[in-house]
């Protein structure tokens, strides 16, 4: 029992400044997405004066149509996070299916799945998303679903999994040749059990990292799509805010409070998630953590006059 | 040689897949793009009926009710190999192929030059930051992620707001000065100068947004490489730090960056497409956006195909270089 727990602990990122900082940023944004809409005025309330500078009444000013930018930002955060989450989950599931299965089964299945993955990887994602969106959104058969944020998330999910699949395949392939997996197979465990019980738990840090990449990719993709007017109608996201700002000439009229906050939120969320990924990276690849520490130790020793590298071969 | 053969086979298969995807998308997704497109062309023609030849071109690209899927597929390839991509409805009656031929050089030069600058900058700075591991520079590394997460088009908006609108240092939109050259592009120093001034902000956007990825990847590989045994051996032999840094560590650490170039290029292309909208840059991204917003399906299909082919060509080029510098890739396939 204690053994299992300590094994699990080695999978967890060490509590470092990067991890704490990353969680603080992401946590704050998630909290804002949950609480913001509760305290802000309705996002499409156009009774306010238009293009107001930030003030005590309107913390982030108002847009050309008189919408309160703070309230738009609160709802937009919610919308963008939802799309990122849904698309991230879809991409992760597809990446596991294509990557882990290819890596585990090898042979012909590997060849076929990898070929498909690599084709998806080199076909540029965003243009493909734009093409699919342009067709799907104009079709009458789908009704309201055709321009919903769920559909945008699905399209982003099914176009954004290939990179993760490549990473997972490489790792699954290496795990597959380990002795404990061979032992499990000799013991007669079924393929699905080996994959879910023996292999997937050891992929947890990688899965987390790829999930985070998937979310960043989807949120950036959604922002681009919405900015071009191809996003979901009816919902508010960071991308639709930027699209409004573009059509409202926010840059030309110097209404910085309108277009700066949504982009800053995207950058902050991306940075926060990347920080968490850094912490995970240092678990997956201990050299990243140990090498700088060693270099620091050597330098400290040299300064104290103990080391042999006075000219600083390492430092 | 089998490495090159394998890679070329892969790109031929991918080419085929991309063309087939282009063929299938308008046919399998719900909606009737051919009907919409023909209606648009008729309106663009001033309400007069358009020629049967043009209708055939559109149905061969976007699908028709007549003929089996296989016949349509063969006809589609036939037209494609003749370079016939149909007629644009938003820029009626310009052929799609001509529009793309005008726009493509702008994007290739801009994205190409900016990517090369960004790549070299990222590798050089990344190698240096990795070499100085364990110093204050480590704390700068997380900052690069902020730049990486910034959407290209938003960075472009901010740069325009600061440098063009407020400071007036750079032009706001376009690829060259429309008023100085009303006849369009020409080969003169004045025109090239105008084009370069217009390209500075878009190129800066691409470099700032993409350099973080190269820098971070190179730094991490450098840190890993520096703890390899052969680096320790080199140190023990008493080689100069400079020699170890450049000849032993950096050269090996740069290999994964080159291998990952293709994936990164996809991101740069995606970012640049949206960014061109901000600058109204006369490149392929602007054309793509215009076609999507105007439901100009023939133009959209053509642009998507050309973007894919260009990215594949760049990937193949990098693979050839990669095979040249890393013998392991050649021998292990």
Q: What is the 3-state secondary structure (H, E, C) of A135-182?
A: HHCCCHHHHHHHHCHHHHHHHHHHHCCHHHHHHHHHHHHHHHCCHHHH
- Picking from A3-12, A92-101, B7-16, which range would have the lowest pLDDT averaged per residue? A3-12
Residue ranges of domains in chain B, CATH in brackets = 2-81 (no CATH), 96-324 (1.10.3720.10)
pLDDT band at A87 (very low <50, low <70, confident <90, very high): very high
For A38-70, what is each residue's pLDDT tens digit?
Answer: 877 777 776 777 767 777 676 777 777 777 788
Helix, coil or strand: residue A4? helix
Q: Which of residues 225-244 of B touch A (CB under 8 A)?
A: 226-227, 235, 241, 244
pLDDT band at A3 (very low <50, low <70, confident <90, very high): low
- Cα(B178)–Cα(B176) distance, integer angstroms: 6
Which string of b and e fits B18-48 if b means at least 16 CB within 10 Å?
Answer: bbebbbebbbebebbbbebbbebbbebbeee
Per-residue pLDDT at A1: 42
Higher-pLDDT residue of B250 and B64 is B250
Tell me the HSE value of A246 on the side-chain side, using a 13 A CA sphere.
24
In a domain, residue A298? The reply is no
Per-residue pLDDT at A40: 74
- Cα(B203)–Cα(B194) distance, integer angstroms: 14
| Chain B residues within 8 A of A243 when measuring between CB atoms | none
Per-residue pLDDT at A7: 58
Q: Residues B143, B233: contact at Cβ < 8 Å?
A: no
Full domain range(s) for residue A148: 13-284
**A187 min Cα distance to partner chain B (Å):** 33
Q: What CATH number has the domain bearing residue A273? A: 1.10.3720.10
B222 and A CB contact within 8 Å = no
Q: Residues A239, A224: contact at Cβ < 8 Å?
A: yes
Is B149 close to A121, i.e. CB distance below 8 A? no
For A219-254, what is each residue's pLDDT tens digit?
Answer: 988 998 888 888 877 788 888 888 888 887 777 777
Per-residue pLDDT at B121: 93
In a domain, residue A132? The reply is yes
**A1 min Cα distance to partner chain B (Å):** 34
Number of domains in chain A: 1
pLDDT band at B80 (very low <50, low <70, confident <90, very high): confident
In a domain, residue A121? The reply is yes
Q: Residues B154, A263: contact at Cβ < 8 Å?
A: yes
pLDDT beyond 90 at A89: yes
Is B292 close to A227, i.e. CB distance below 8 A? no
Mean pLDDT, residues A1-21 taken together: 63
Record the pTM.
0.83
Mean predicted lDDT score pLDDT of chain B: 83
pLDDT band at A9 (very low <50, low <70, confident <90, very high): low
In a domain, residue A294? The reply is no
**B284 min Cα distance to partner chain A (Å):** 11
What is B175-206 written as a DSSP string? SS-TTT-TT---SSHHHHHHHHHHHHHHHHHH
In a domain, residue A1? The reply is no
Q: Which of residues 264-283 of B touch A (CB under 8 A)?
A: 266, 269-271, 273-274, 277-278
pLDDT beyond 70 at B26: yes
Mean pLDDT, residues A141-163 taken together: 82
B133 and A CB contact within 8 Å = yes
* DSSP code at position A63: -
Per-residue pLDDT at A313: 47
Residue in A224, A281, A291 closest to B227 by CB = A291
**B188 min Cα distance to partner chain A (Å):** 31
In a domain, residue A312? The reply is no
For B211-237, what is each residue's pLDDT tens digit?
Answer: 888 888 888 888 888 888 888 888 888
Rounded percentage of chain A residues whose pLDDT exceeds 70:
87
**B235 min Cα distance to partner chain A (Å):** 7
In a domain, residue A42? The reply is yes
- Picking from A29-33, A74-78, A93-97, A120-124, which range would have the lowest pLDDT averaged per residue? A120-124
**How far apart are the two ends of chain B, measured CA to CA in Å?**
9
In a domain, residue A200? The reply is yes
- Cα(A105)–Cα(A82) distance, integer angstroms: 34
- Cα(A205)–Cα(A194) distance, integer angstroms: 18
Is A299 close to B270, i.e. CB distance below 8 A? no
Can you tell me which residue has the tokens 């985070």? A212
Higher-pLDDT residue of B331 and B308 is B308
Is A124 close to B308, i.e. CB distance below 8 A? yes
Q: What is the ipTM of this complex?
A: 0.84
* DSSP code at position B51: P
């Amino acid at each position: 029992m204690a053994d299992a727990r300590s094994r699990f602990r080695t999978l967890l990122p060490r509590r470092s400044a990067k991890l704490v900082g990353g969680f603080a940023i992401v946590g704050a944004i998630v909290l804002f997405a949950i609480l913001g809409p509760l305290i802000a005025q309705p996002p499409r309330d156009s009774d306010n004066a238009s293009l107001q500078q930030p003030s005590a009444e309107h913390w982030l000013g108002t847009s050309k149509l008189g919408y309160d930018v703070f309230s738009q930002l609160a709802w937009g955060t919610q919308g963008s996070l939802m799309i990122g989450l849904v698309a991230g989950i879809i991409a992760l599931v597809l990446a596991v299916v294509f990557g882990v299965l290819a890596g585990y089964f090898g042979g012909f299945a590997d060849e076929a799945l990898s070929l498909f993955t690599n084709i998806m990887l080199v076909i540029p994602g965003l243009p493909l998303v734009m093409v699919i969106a342009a067709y799907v959104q104009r079709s009458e058969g789908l009704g309201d679903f055709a321009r919903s944020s769920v559909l945008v998330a699905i399209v982003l999910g099914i176009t954004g999994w290939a990179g993760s699949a490549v990473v997972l395949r490489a790792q699954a392939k290496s795990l597959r040749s380990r002795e404990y997996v061979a032992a499990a197979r000799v013991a007669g465990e079924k393929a699905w059990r080996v994959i879910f019980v023996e292999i997937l738990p050891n992929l947890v840090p990688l899965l987390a990292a790829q999930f985070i990449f998937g979310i960043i990719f989807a949120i950036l993709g959604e922002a681009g799509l919405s900015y071009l007017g191809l996003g979901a109608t009816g919902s508010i996201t960071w991308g639709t805010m930027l699209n409004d700002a573009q059509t409202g000439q926010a840059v030309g009229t110097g209404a910085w409070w309108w277009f700066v906050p949504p982009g800053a939120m995207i950058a902050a969320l991306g940075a926060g998630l990347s920080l968490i990924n850094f912490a995970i990276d240092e678990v997956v690849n201990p050299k990243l953590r140990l090498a700088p520490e060693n270099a620091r130790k050597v330098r400290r020793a040299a300064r104290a006059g103990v080391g042999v590298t006075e000219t600083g071969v390492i430092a | 040689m089998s490495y090159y053969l394998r890679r070329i086979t892969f790109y031929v298969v991918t080419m085929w897949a991309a063309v087939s995807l282009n063929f299938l998308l308008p046919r399998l997704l719900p909606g009737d793009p051919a009907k919409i497109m023909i209606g648009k062309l008729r309106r663009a023609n001033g309400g007069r009926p358009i020629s049967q030849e043009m209708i055939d071109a559109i149905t061969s690209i976007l699908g028709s009710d007549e003929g089996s899927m296989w016949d349509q597929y063969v006809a589609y390839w036939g037209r494609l190999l003749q370079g016939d991509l149909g007629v644009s409805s938003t820029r009626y009656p310009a052929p799609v192929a001509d529009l793309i031929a005008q726009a493509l050089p702008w994007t290739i030069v801009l994205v190409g030059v900016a990517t090369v600058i960004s790549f070299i900058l990222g590798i050089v700075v990344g190698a240096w930051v990795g070499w100085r591991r364990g110093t204050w520079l480590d704390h700068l590394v997380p900052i690069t992620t902020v730049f990486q997460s910034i959407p290209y088009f938003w960075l472009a908006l901010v740069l325009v707001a600061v440098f063009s609108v407020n400071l007036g240092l750079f032009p706001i939109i376009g690829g060259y000065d429309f008023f100085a050259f009303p006849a369009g592009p020409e080969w003169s120093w004045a025109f090239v100068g105008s084009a370069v001034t217009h390209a500075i902000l878009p190129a800066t956007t691409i470099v700032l947004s993409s350099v973080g990825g190269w820098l971070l990847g190179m730094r991490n590989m450098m840190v890993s490489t520096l703890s390899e045994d052969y680096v320790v051996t080199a140190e023990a032999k008493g080689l100069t730090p400079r020699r170890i840094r450049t000849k032993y560590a950096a050269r090996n650490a740069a290999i994964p960056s080159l291998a990952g170039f293709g994936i990164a290029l996809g991101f740069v292309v995606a970012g640049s497409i949206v960014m061109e909208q901000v600058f109204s840059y006369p490149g392929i991204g602007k054309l793509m956006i215009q076609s999507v917003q105007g439901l100009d399906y023939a133009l959209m299909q053509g642009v998507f195909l050309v973007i894919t082919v260009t990215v594949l060509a760049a990937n193949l080029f990098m693979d050839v270089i990669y095979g040249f510098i890393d013998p392991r890739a050649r021998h292990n396939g």
